[in-house]
C-alpha cells in the first residue's frame, strides 16, 4: 500500500467529517459531533481559516470504498503566555482497516514539519487515558504524556449563563 500525505483541500471536507464521526464512535461519543460540513469548510477554507490539516491518500486515490479518506490530521495554532505560538493537534484519525500500516506516523510527521515551518515552540494534543494504542503510538514517537493537568470545559449553554449573570 502506497500512502501519500497532502494538504487538505475544500473538496476533502465531507470525507474528513466522516472520519471525525468514525473517531467519535471509537471514543464512545457518536452523538457529540455537531459541526456541519459547511461550518468545517468555512473554518478551514473560508475568509479567516482557523484550522489546517492533511489527508492520507492510498495508491494515488483520495478515496477508498464509499468515498472516505484513509486518514486525516487537523491542527490549529494556540498561544502560550509562557512559550509563545504552539501547535495543537485536534484530531489524527486513521480508518480502522489501514491502522498499523504507518499512515498515522506519516500524518503526525506532516503535522510536526508544519509546526517547525511555522516556528511553533511545541505541538500539544490530548489522548483519552484508555486509548492504549494511541498512547503507545505517541510514546513510540518520543512524546511526553502529561498526567498532571486537568482539562476544563464550558459548553455553549453554560457560557450563555455565565455571560449573562
- Summarised one tens digit per residue, pLDDT across range 130-146 is 999 999 999 999 999 99
Count of C-beta atoms within a 10 Å radius of residue 116: 11
Least confidently predicted of 7-16, 67-76, 113-122, 138-147: 67-76
pLDDT at 75: 98
| 138 assigned to active site | yes
pLDDT at 68: 56
DSSP 64: B
Between 9 and 97, the more confident residue is 9
The model's pTM is 0.90
Helix (H) or strand (E) holding 3: strand 3-7
Q: What is the mean pLDDT of the chain?
A: 93
Would you say residue 55 has pLDDT above 70? yes
pLDDT at 2: 81
Residue 47 pLDDT class (50, 70, 90 cuts): very high
What percentage of the chain has pLDDT greater than the value 70?
Answer: 95
- CATH code, residues 3-163: 3.40.630.30
- Choosing from 76, 79, 138, 155, the catalytic residue is 138
* Average pLDDT value for residue range 71-79: 98
Which residue in the block uniquely carries the three cell numbers 502560550?
80
- Domain limits of the chain? 3-163
Question: Which residue intervals of the chain are DSSP H helices?
Answer: 13-26, 37-45, 103-117, 132-140, 156-163
* Average pLDDT value for residue range 16-26: 97
Amino acid at each position: 500500500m502506497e500512502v501519500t500525505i497532502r494538504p487538505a483541500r475544500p473538496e476533502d471536507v465531507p470525507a474528513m467529517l466522516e472520519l471525525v464521526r468514525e473517531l467519535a464512535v471509537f471514543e464512545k461519543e457518536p452523538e457529540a459531533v455537531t459541526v456541519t460540513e459547511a461550518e468545517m469548510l468555512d473554518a478551514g477554507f473560508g475568509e479567516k481559516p482557523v484550522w489546517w490539516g492533511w489527508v492520507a491518500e492510498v495508491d494515488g486515490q483520495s478515496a477508498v470504498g464509499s468515498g472516505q479518506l484513509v486518514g486525516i490530521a487537523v491542527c490549529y495554532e494556540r498561544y502560550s503566555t509562557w512559550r509563545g505560538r504552539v501547535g495543537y493537534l485536534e484530531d489524527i484519525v486513521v480508518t480502522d482497516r489501514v491502522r498499523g500500516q504507518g499512515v498515522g506516523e506519516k500524518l503526525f510527521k506532516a503535522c510536526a514539519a508544519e509546526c517547525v515551518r511555522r516556528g511553533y515552540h511545541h505541538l500539544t494534543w490530548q489522548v483519552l487515558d484508555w486509548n492504549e494504542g494511541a498512547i503507545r503510538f505517541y510514546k513510540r514517537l518520543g512524546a511526553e504524556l502529561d498526567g498532571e493537568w486537568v482539562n476544563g470545559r464550558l459548553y455553549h449553554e453554560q457560557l450563555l449563563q455565565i455571560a449573562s449573570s
